[in-house]
Amino acid sequence: MQRLSGKVAFITGGGTGIGRACALLFAREGAVIAIAGRRKGPLEAAVREIESAGGKAVALTCDVVDRKSVESALASTVKHFGALHIVVNNAGAVVVAAADGTSDQDWDNVVATNLTGTFKVSRAALPHLRAAGGGAIVNIGSILGIVARTQRAAYCAAKAGVTGLTKAMALDHAHEKIRVNCVCPSIVETELGLKSIREAPDPEAERRRRTEGIPLGRLGLPEDVAQMVLYLASDESAWVTGAALPLDGGLTAY
């Protein structure tokens, strides 16, 4: 039996990278998907791929920092599919800089997209999850929400906030059978994840250096993250809530 049969999922940042991998995997496991994001083209391409494989999906333009946009997208999901059971908060932004190299605009953008967006989507989803008798919120955090590294002041702060929000919401809504968990990846082969490598003076050397720091000897793949998100979204994790799970190839085992 498919692991998400009969479930309706809402995935932000779903047109590319980790979000797209989650959408494709969820569809294979029987869910119907609302793929949300700011860029319509990638969203529609993901929907076509799902539909060509026999699944069901809809593309919804949504800016996670805009409350009305979020509420409209979630209402459209329920109108289209009849319910909401799973939310994946994946929209993200990063700036490579220490605190004194981070502008007000960069700080505001990173915190708004990663933390405030996660809050607004999760808050707006609660009535729909209650109406379904419970559900799962899975936040895409970061290993940098648990530990820190240089040149990531705003990103570390925002992702640490996601970790804290995950735990707080898990406690607040456990009695409603709404589980809230957080996946904390290290560097993943996505456009956003590889930003620091692309911008390094010697990208190839930087990639080797980053890979050598990971005990399993490779960078993460979007599909690696999607598999853990699938577990947390499914009934297999029925007794898991408030967890912030490292997914880092052993990086933080040192």
**Measured between alpha carbons, how far is 223 from 148 in angstroms, rounded to an integer?**
24
Q: What average pLDDT does the segment 162-178 reach?
A: 98
Residue 199 confidence (pLDDT) above 90:
no
Residue 26 confidence (pLDDT) above 90:
yes
Tokens representing 79?
Answer: 């109108």
Predicted local confidence at residue 66, as pLDDT: 98
Helix (H) / strand (E) element for 13: namely none
Predicted local confidence at residue 254, as pLDDT: 83
Where are the alpha helices (H) located in the chain, listed in sequence order? Answer: 17-28, 40-52, 67-81, 104-111, 117-131, 153-173, 195-198, 203-212, 222-233
CA 29 to mean position of chain CA atoms: 18
Q: What average pLDDT does the segment 161-189 reach?
A: 98
Predicted local confidence at residue 246, as pLDDT: 98
Predicted local confidence at residue 225, as pLDDT: 98
**Measured between alpha carbons, how far is 157 from 142 in angstroms, rounded to an integer?**
11
Predicted local confidence at residue 10, as pLDDT: 98
Q: What average pLDDT does the segment 73-90 reach?
A: 98
Helix (H) / strand (E) element for 115: namely none
Nearest to 134 by CA among 81, 103, 177, 92: 177
Q: Is 155 a catalytic residue?
A: yes
Residue 195 confidence (pLDDT) above 90:
no
Selecting among 155, 160, 197, 246, the annotated active-site residue is: 155
Predicted local confidence at residue 196, as pLDDT: 83
What CA–CA distances, in Å, run from 75 to 69, 81, 83, 89? 10, 10, 9, 16
pLDDT above 70: percentage of residues in the chain: 100
Taking phi first (over 0 means left), then psi (-120 to 50 degrees means alpha), and beta for anything else, what does residue 85 get?
A: alpha
Predicted local confidence at residue 1, as pLDDT: 79
| Residue 138 bridge partners (DSSP) | 88, 181
Residues 6+ apart with CB under 8 A from 105: none
**Measured between alpha carbons, how far is 227 from 209 in angstroms, rounded to an integer?**
26
Predicted local confidence at residue 194, as pLDDT: 87
**Mean pLDDT (the chain, rounded):** 97
**Measured between alpha carbons, how far is 93 from 77 in angstroms, rounded to an integer?**
24
Domain boundaries, the chain: 8-193+220-246
Predicted local confidence at residue 193, as pLDDT: 83
Predicted local confidence at residue 72, as pLDDT: 98
Class of domain 8-193+220-246: alpha beta
Question: Are 137 and 87 a contacting pair, CB within 8 Å?
Answer: yes
pTM of the complete model: 0.97
